[in-house]
Structure 1
């Protein structure tokens, strides 16, 4: 039997005759039997590796052969833009079999939603937040609407599993399974990760062990390495170059001058940098489009449409375009400084090399010495085939609180002894959830009567606005003002730009253009603007450190400073500035261990990453100051620390590592922290700040005391 014979005949006919495919890709062939037989799976392939077809062709065949009715497949994505992008493709595939696809997320209007409820589709494209909003909505009869569900496909699953959105998604899937009254097949689509087996086990949730499951990857792809123990003879394939440009202005000149006539995608890791680089490129006459989370949906869609149709242009983006959104036939990827993870780099470089005969490529442009060393360290890890393992954040107590409230909103009344049955086998809902439930009741978030739980007045007051919409979102966004030009929304800006003292007109930089503020509606958080020639400023406050440097990446940066070069092309400027960086750090790196440097203050240069250094600061509280700064590379010690005091402090430290003390602002920024006892909210963040293995590894190394020449 050929591969195509496993598919429904109509679908196989269109694959060959409509798509013109003589055969399926390796991933698509390997996925046919497991998915049509109902197995859980994680499908691994680089960006543009055909994962969507690998999942949907066998599932559509199963739908047709087994005559599923109603909403049978729920397809979940992390971002709305990816759903929008997938819709026409999946509509085409489903249409060949007489099946329908519909889209439901925050930008879908009430009329379209009402039409979906009147006549449900076969396949629903949505986000986890929208899926939960359907479960709790009084307008959706969820027991009827989801009665026929058979499969959930989770696209870009690695983007979920590494943070609280993953826990939220997993909890919602468990509730959906109970609503459907049957086990639901779970299929995850992912780029390369360091621990695919763990990702599959995580995705299965309460159904692990109850159904066959497997990891499906192309035979030609070697399994990702999850550690630094292996250094292969050959680096991964790709045309990768590292350059040093020294400023945003110089980066704009390089991007404008290189690869004219080609389509270039430039990644920046902050919205401010996207805006500044975009404005400079436009000033140089380059056709430029921007994409980041604080631009309006229409502005992002306009950029995506234009970019897919243009040829000689640049799009400057944050990670919003890192995932699988189709931006057309891309020629080049350019990275400003470096992303925070190897996995993120793999996603980005995977946007290129899709045409036959083309090669995956990425040009790194470092703006400063720190960005240069980080880029070199990241490429050193990439050259060793190392990819970060995707790990769910530990102890998601705030998600437990949110889920208990959401369940009571969904079911109206829940038995105070049967609520664990909605999340069977999920560790967060074991005995550790009982204190959280007791707090919700004692604080008035939940009420009890005759052994039943239901929404209390405190939950109504905290989350009841706009039909409990606040309860279905896992993250707290910093407050922003909507920027309007006439009736058109441009995007959102940080309120500090509207309140800072300044002389002359107040100018904003948004969507790569300067705007003069004409009026601010403080009550409605709206800012009205008119166009200006130049001079705008961009700013967004994240509030919490978003991407702390990992132990592995920071250690790789140390290796670079000790002389290791990544297996990529280094320009003359990159080599010269790497040499300068190595000279500048000669007192703070040593091949034999870590270095304690006494200058104006005393710093222990661990090169252990932020979380390990926070753990060490807490563990060595007798010789550190909890109010002093901690970075990825070093932490401050007391100024009176001597080798003798040091030896006494660290003698047994590795056997008594302590959790870090979280910052009060970080605790306040934890969504649903008010629904937790304060000690549990603090414990949740402390656990997530800790890196015990990294801290122990550093303590096991020799330490060297150094007094710099300036302090002698």
Structure 2
């Protein structure tokens, strides 16, 4: 290392090991840029592609600060969204801490009782955990959380974008605020993220209540660390060099044939958009003699671990995965990434693309294999946006009232009794956990979730009944998963399946597909929700109940319209892809127009408004325009069905003021059942929460601001 640079502020022992143990001639740009702000104690958001050295960019300065300021006890938390990612990171973090005579340990649901006792006794300097496990520590009667966290100084949140976009983000923020209250002083917050479209806003979100008083900095490889103001412009993500290829194969069988034939001798990571597709493709590849491993959320943790470790050590092989391998879990050096159909977002594609091109002399690459014309157009749209340097902003879901209810209950477990006038102080003024939540607390009291005695709130009988099983573990998870059956071969759990696979009528043996292999069901334990299996020769089926397709966004759907109007993404298009795109453009030509939206009467007489606005914008339009929309409110990503008797001359008078009277979509009882803790809310507030999350007012207004043309299809 050369002198006179920021890295010389690091502890000399860290510098010594960077050069002599890691063999690095220098730090990466992100790592250099992060040194000064993190040593000063600033909050920060560190941005870099996958494998960009973000973990070291955070740990090297924080470990140096730990030594220089003589932090004692558990002084650094490292939070991840996945237990597998924590397990993967632990040896590396332990090594770095060990350079300075410090320790690191894991704490999550798979860590055994004796190891947990050791953590509580020894108090490692760095604790790697999830927000859910952190909250479990706060509410556990076996953990003296005030003593254990007394020395806490900083928190690193890895893959912070994966938290911020859903309710786990609100849960994370609320738990960090409660923890700040417990330790009695602000905690330095450092987020690690791949490229996002709104880094300044993401940093401010991570800072929580500290955004008003603490300095925050976005640190990116190509930017100098600078103080961030709310109005700061986001750096635009530029497409990295590499080879992206778009192909149309027509079926999963054909996709398997292509994967088996291409790139022999190389390590290939294949991403699919559903667990069922992962299972079916895994089986097809094995039938073609390809060494294949699988990874998805319904495989047991042990099955996933074995699969990922075997893949990391092998060479000529494929691992087929859902988004579980999109984050930074290390599966060794990859040669190829293959995408089946289209990822939902540009950000997801960037994460997946970043898994390749890590070795010197290699470039990032991704081959898209699309099974249908619509998926081909969708993939082209994602790549069109990527080619323009556009990435989705990470936005927390609005109105998290159910998380407020969960947090109030968790706080009462943590403190045992909380003042009925002072509870809001425990989140340090962070909305929406402040005084505005009083109607939610009143509902919790009125319905027995909380009891009150002498001005103190404590957990009531209804909370005990609904969430008290297994020491209130249900209270720390903010998502409701569909009921699934555990699948066991002997004593080994293989994973979990949808119960419908055990109740559907079948002729002969009942067979399952799990882990890319077929299994014969030998016994079902209905009471304990378990089934026992033995290996079978083919014929297995895979299925899982979807958590709900949220639909394409306004930008992606608009980009699909652009593709249909002739725009090509800046990637290699195979002859098959070009041919199928030509067919799609020809067939969809009556439904797209560059100057606005179209209302088209189909051959069967139905009338559809082709908005190309995305599911949420169309849901908003359908809910707001009862005068013109079909009473059944049928809509999808691309269109809204209108009343068949609607005349062009009536359009302007009926919808002329629609942009000023947009309303939120209606919410049904089935949707409410999927919102965890909704029963702890007044029904009207639960419905308002879901309605706000299914709407896109800006997208709907954009559609209404465009010209509308009534046409009749040709032919």
Q: Would you say same fold, with TM above 0.5?
A: yes
Among 172, 178, 181, which residue is 1:178 paired with?
A: 181
Q: Which residue of 2 aligns with 1:147?
A: 150
Q: 1:235 to 1:451 in 2, by over 3 A?
A: closer
Are 2:661 and 1:656 equivalent residues in the alignment?
yes
Among 570, 573, 577, which residue is 2:573 paired with?
A: 570
Are 2:623 and 1:618 equivalent residues in the alignment?
yes
Query: Could you list the per-position Cα deviations for residues 591-641 of structure 1 after superposition, in whole angstroms to 9, with x for gaps in the alignment?
Result: 121111112211111000000000000110122235343211011111111
Q: Distance in 2 between matches of 1:98 and 1:363?
A: 45
Are 2:623 and 1:631 equivalent residues in the alignment?
no
Query: Could you list the per-position Cα deviations for residues 526-552 of structure 1 after superposition, in whole angstroms to 9, with x for gaps in the alignment?
Result: 01000011011100002423x321000
State the 1:431 CA deviation: 3.9
Among 30, 35, 39, which residue is 1:32 paired with?
A: 35
Q: Distance in 2 between matches of 1:215 and 1:35?
A: 11
Quick check: 2:43–2:189 contact (8 Å CA) kept in 1?
A: yes
Quick check: 2:6–2:33 contact (8 Å CA) kept in 1?
A: no
Q: Distance in 2 between matches of 1:646 and 1:2?
A: 66
Q: Distance in 2 between matches of 1:542 and 1:270?
A: 9
Q: Which residue of 1 aligns with 2:501?
A: 497
Are 2:680 and 1:696 equivalent residues in the alignment?
no
Total equivalences in the alignment:
704
* Match runs of 1:156-171 below 5 Å: 156-171=159-174
Are 2:467 and 1:466 equivalent residues in the alignment?
no
Among 201, 205, 210, which residue is 1:207 paired with?
A: 210
Q: Which residue of 1 aligns with 2:598?
A: 595
Among 415, 423, 438, which residue is 2:442 paired with?
A: 438
Quick check: 1:594–1:702 contact (8 Å CA) kept in 2?
A: yes
Q: Distance in 1 between matches of 2:216 and 2:455?
A: 39
Q: Distance in 1 between matches of 2:478 and 2:193?
A: 22
Q: Distance in 2 between matches of 1:429 and 1:288?
A: 47
Query: Could you list the per-position Cα deviations for residues 58-106 of structure 1 after superposition, in whole angstroms to 9, with x for gaps in the alignment?
Result: 0000001111111100000000110000000011100111111000111
Among 80, 84, 104, which residue is 1:81 paired with?
A: 84
Are 2:289 and 1:285 equivalent residues in the alignment?
yes
Quick check: 2:370–2:376 contact (8 Å CA) kept in 1?
A: yes
Q: Distance in 2 between matches of 1:699 and 1:554?
A: 16
Q: Which residue of 2 aligns with 1:644?
A: 649
Quick check: 1:236–1:382 contact (8 Å CA) kept in 2?
A: no
Q: Which residue of 1 aligns with 2:403?
A: 399
Q: Which residue of 2 aligns with 1:105?
A: 108
Quick check: 1:544–1:666 contact (8 Å CA) kept in 2?
A: no
Secondary structure of residue in 1 paired with 2:294? strand
Query: Could you list the per-position Cα deviations for residues 504-527 of structure 1 after superposition, in whole angstroms to 9, with x for gaps in the alignment?
Result: 111100000000111100000001
CA root-mean-square deviation: 1.7
Q: Distance in 2 between matches of 1:362 and 1:496?
A: 35
* Match runs of 1:130-145 below 5 Å: 130-145=133-148
Query: Could you list the per-position Cα deviations for residues 132-178 of structure 1 after superposition, in whole angstroms to 9, with x for gaps in the alignment?
Result: 01100011110111111000000000000011000000000000001
Quick check: 1:617–1:626 contact (8 Å CA) kept in 2?
A: no
Secondary structure of residue in 1 paired with 2:150? coil
State the 1:291 CA deviation: 0.1
Secondary structure of residue in 1 paired with 2:486? strand
Q: Which residue of 2 aligns with 1:487?
A: 491
Query: Could you list the per-position Cα deviations for residues 470-501 of structure 1 after superposition, in whole angstroms to 9, with x for gaps in the alignment?
Result: 00000000100000011111100000000011
Secondary structure of residue in 1 paired with 2:664? coil
Secondary structure of residue in 2 paired with 1:289? strand
Are 2:706 and 1:708 equivalent residues in the alignment?
no
Are 2:559 and 1:556 equivalent residues in the alignment?
yes
Q: Which residue of 1 aligns with 2:96?
A: 93
Among 241, 244, 251, which residue is 1:247 paired with?
A: 251
Q: Distance in 2 between matches of 1:296 and 1:648?
A: 58
Q: Which residue of 2 aligns with 1:226?
A: none
Secondary structure of residue in 2 paired with 1:407? helix
Extract unaligned runs of 5+ from structure 2. Answer: 227-232
Q: Which residue of 2 aligns with 1:5?
A: 8
Q: Distance in 2 between matches of 1:575 and 1:709?
A: 24
In the TM superposition, structure 1's runs of 4+ consecutive aligned residues that sit over 6 Å from their partners are: 220-223
Q: Which residue of 1 aligns with 2:318?
A: 314
With 212-221 and 344-353 compared, the bigger mean Cα shift is at 212-221
Q: Which residue of 2 aligns with 1:672?
A: 677
TM-score (ref. length: structure 1)? 0.97
TM-score (ref. length: structure 2)? 0.97
State the 1:430 CA deviation: 3.3
